[in-house]
A and B are shown apart, each in its own frame.
Chain A
């Protein structure tokens, strides 16, 4: 078998193994699908409680749209997707470490990057399914948009999720070295939710926090998705963000893998691969 054929087969096997595990624990998928709606309903109630009869007007003044539900669902869905990306990649390796299967994978003559990419690809599919399930259903019911904008939204999603995997690779390294995946990923996911403008425009943040938010791919992803779906913006309008996301999509995974390798090498010295 040629190197390329062998690598493709290994990648496909890792991808399929992850998907099988996801579908064989269906409760988790149902949970991920429900969460964006529940958060949006909670925020809707909170907005009405705080803003009273003027809530919708205030919302329009700050966001430029009266479509509160779609605006929040977009933020929620992307937040949950990035949560899946960052937490599931790290916890997938952690679960394998606890089960004893991580060592079995590391025994095989494959590049570690392949292992990460295979798991990541499966989670891109899962994330895309959540996105399709949550956002498209909502958008189609509440605000029928053109098929082109939905296509552009998917393109943005894939471009924006790729650098998020770079961040996830670093956390996968943390997990191998320090264990405790949730301690790291949940804090970071909450910080990202605050900084990326999940439920409000980033412009409401203090100016120094707005600068920090600009290194998080999730910020662009949420903004662009709202601009595409709620304001019918095109690829031409968003090219600046697309270039930035493209650069991040190249740099972040490379950086992530570099840190992952460093943590892995350290784990080989300390024997941490089999410790839990």
Chain B
């Protein structure tokens, strides 16, 4: 039996727009009939651009937001009918470092949340000591969180999610804003948790992270899951085309539309590294890439776009997203 079972979850938010006496109600669909399961010892990566519905999904699963329709089960408990039991079975790390009390020490934070999860004193003391050691904060346990670095706060937040050793873990962008060393530490710990049999839902918009950690990846866009499979299977699905990555300066977004008119090009997206300096990467999915490349370079040169590097690459999850939506994950 899967530890997480999501059945056709939908969420529509009602917002109001316009001026004070002329407000118009507008409905925004954040999630639209999403279904999936996660088994014991499995990591499901939820990959999608900002605003795709990833955080709404997590917040509905942890009972902070009520679905408009559908239901989900966590360790057999319905989020609609038994929200308290669902929360007992969940360890959750929400995005950001401001999920802790800054005027409490790291240890005081963990002690506080351990009490909210009804852990007894001995049990929580042992667990807190173990977790502080695990996330490398044992020496800073008695320091106020306000004096922690961003990486330390996120690691403490991660430890908080593991406090009561819940069978199901939800991590919402767990490495967002972290330095590479801390990110690697968190990723290693997530893989270790999978080995211990936890069912893990991980949202991220870092495709490498989703690729590295997930047993299966669900690609979500505009509130719908548009593909779900093992990362290798998803990447295999775009193998039929060549992927050309062109690093360029003076990049203009219009060039992408021009390239899409080429007969052998399926898709093209511009991903800006620095929008002020107009530098970035153009990713092109094309049939017979080597044959179409001279035409592409000619079109770029004609528009004064400075090409610095051209590479034929293996498909990534971002290429899967481009193939499915015609857009990049960072769009």
Contact = CB atoms under 8 A, between A and B. Distances in A.
Nearest to A115: B116
A17 B101 contact: yes
B176 to A, nearest CB: 13
Given A21-B101, A109-B88, A270-B13, A103 B64 contact: yes
Interface of B: 13-14, 56, 59, 62-66, 84-85, 87-88, 90, 92, 94, 96, 98-104, 108, 111-113, 115-121, 160
B64 A108 contact: no
A271 B121 CA distance: 34
A1 B120 contact: yes
Contacts of A110: 116, 118
Contact of B92 (A21, A107, A269): A107
A6 B119 CA distance: 7
Contacts of A271: 13, 56, 59, 65
A217 B64 CA distance: 34
A268 B66 contact: yes
Given A6-B118, A12-B115, A274-B64, A109 B99 contact: no
Interface string A244-276: 000000000000000000000100111101100
Given A107-B64, A274-B64, A99 B98 contact: yes
23 contacts: A9-B121, A13-B112, A13-B115, A16-B112, A21-B101, A21-B104, A24-B103, A99-B98, A101-B99, A101-B101, A103-B99, A104-B94, A105-B116, A107-B92, A107-B94, A109-B116, A110-B116, A268-B63, A268-B65, A268-B66, A269-B66, A273-B65, A274-B64
Contacts, number: 90
A100 interface: yes
Contacts of B87: 107-109
Given A101-B100, A271-B59, 18 more contacts: A1-B119, A6-B118, A9-B121, A17-B101, A20-B108, A21-B104, A101-B98, A106-B64, A107-B62, A108-B113, A109-B87, A109-B116, A110-B118, A269-B65, A271-B13, A271-B56, A273-B64, A273-B65
Nearest to A6: B118
A181 B152 CA distance: 32
A3 to B, nearest CB: 8
A107 B90 contact: yes
Given A108-B113, A109-B117, A20 B92 contact: no
